């Protein structure tokens, strides 16, 4: 049985994941409006990933006979000064999400809830990847800053990114 404390924290995390999805959708739309279709695609894939993360948590709560309670999603920004600013905000946001996931793991550890610890380990690994990806994008856009051809080529490259169903969802649908 999942503790009330962890149950409430996971419900809050579901809300945080949906807020993240909403943020990345806003970034995608802003990038597309500014003519950066590849960047828009990159953030749209992020949007899909965050929705999947919320679904993984929802499935987990359902599997533990714990009720999912959806909360209102707060407003997100809708415009950024540059693509580089988008990725810098992405890194800062992912660091906050990492702290939230670490807090969930701390609660599960305190509860000696090994099933939850096991599920959260996937998210801990995922957050390492999320932060690394944002740092790589910052490095790439800093490298081409002021170079229109470099920006064009990087945007073209980002257009090839595709969404992959995360393993916890792929297993759930088999």
**Which tens digit of pLDDT belongs to each residue from 82-128?**
999 999 999 999 999 999 999 999 999 999 999 999 999 999 999 99
Q: Quick one: pLDDT at residue 172?
A: 61
- Model pLDDT for residues 156-171, shown as the tens digit of each residue: 999 999 999 999 998 7
Summarize the confidence of residues 12-35 as an average pLDDT: 98
| d(C-alpha 136, C-alpha 101), whole Å | 22
Q: Does residue 97 sit within a domain?
A: yes
Question: Please, is 148 exposed, middle or buried when counting C-beta atoms within 10 Å of its C-beta (0-12, 13-18, 19+)?
Answer: exposed
Q: Quick one: pLDDT at residue 1?
A: 85
Q: Does residue 80 sit within a domain?
A: yes
What are the distances in angstroms from CA 96 to CA 13, 40, 56, 101, 130?
Answer: 11, 22, 19, 9, 11
Q: Does residue 174 sit within a domain?
A: no
Q: Quick one: pLDDT at residue 129?
A: 96
Q: Does residue 45 sit within a domain?
A: yes
Q: Quick one: pLDDT at residue 148?
A: 94
| d(C-alpha 103, C-alpha 62), whole Å | 21
Taking 60 as the threshold, does the pLDDT of residue 24 lie above it?
Answer: yes
Percentage of residues of the chain with pLDDT beyond 90: 96
Reduce the DSSP state of residue 72 to 3 states and report it: coil
Q: Does residue 22 sit within a domain?
A: yes
What is the average pLDDT value for the chain, to the nearest integer? Answer: 96
Look at 75 and 173; give whichever has higher pLDDT: 75
**Cβ–Cβ under 8 Å, residues 29 and 140:** no
Q: Does residue 172 sit within a domain?
A: no
Q: Quick one: pLDDT at residue 75?
A: 96
pTM of the model: 0.94
Q: Does residue 173 sit within a domain?
A: no
Range of the domain at 51: 4-166
Percentage of residues of the chain with pLDDT beyond 70: 98
CATH of the domain at 32: 1.20.1260.10
Q: Does residue 95 sit within a domain?
A: yes
* Total domains present in the chain: 1
């Amino acid at each position: 049985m999942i503790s009330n404390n962890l149950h409430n924290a996971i419900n809050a995390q579901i809300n945080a994941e949906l807020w993240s999805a909403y943020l990345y959708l806003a970034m995608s739309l802003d990038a597309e409006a500014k003519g950066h279709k590849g960047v828009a695609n990159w953030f749209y894939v992020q949007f899909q990933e965050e929705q999947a993360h919320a679904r993984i948590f929802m499935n987990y709560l359902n599997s533990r006979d714990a009720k999912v309670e959806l909360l209102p999603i707060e407003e997100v920004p809708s415009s950024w000064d540059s693509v580089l600013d988008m990725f810098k905000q992405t890194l800062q946001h992912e660091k906050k999400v990492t702290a939230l996931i670490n807090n969930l793991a701390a609660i599960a550890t305190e509860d000696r809830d090994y099933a939850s610890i096991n599920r959260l380990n996937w998210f801990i690994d995922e957050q390492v990847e999320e932060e690394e990806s944002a740092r790589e994008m910052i490095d790439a856009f800093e490298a081409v800053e002021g170079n229109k051809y470099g920006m064009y080529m990087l945007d073209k490259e980002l257009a090839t990114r595709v969404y992959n169903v995360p393993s916890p969802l792929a297993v759930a649908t088999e």
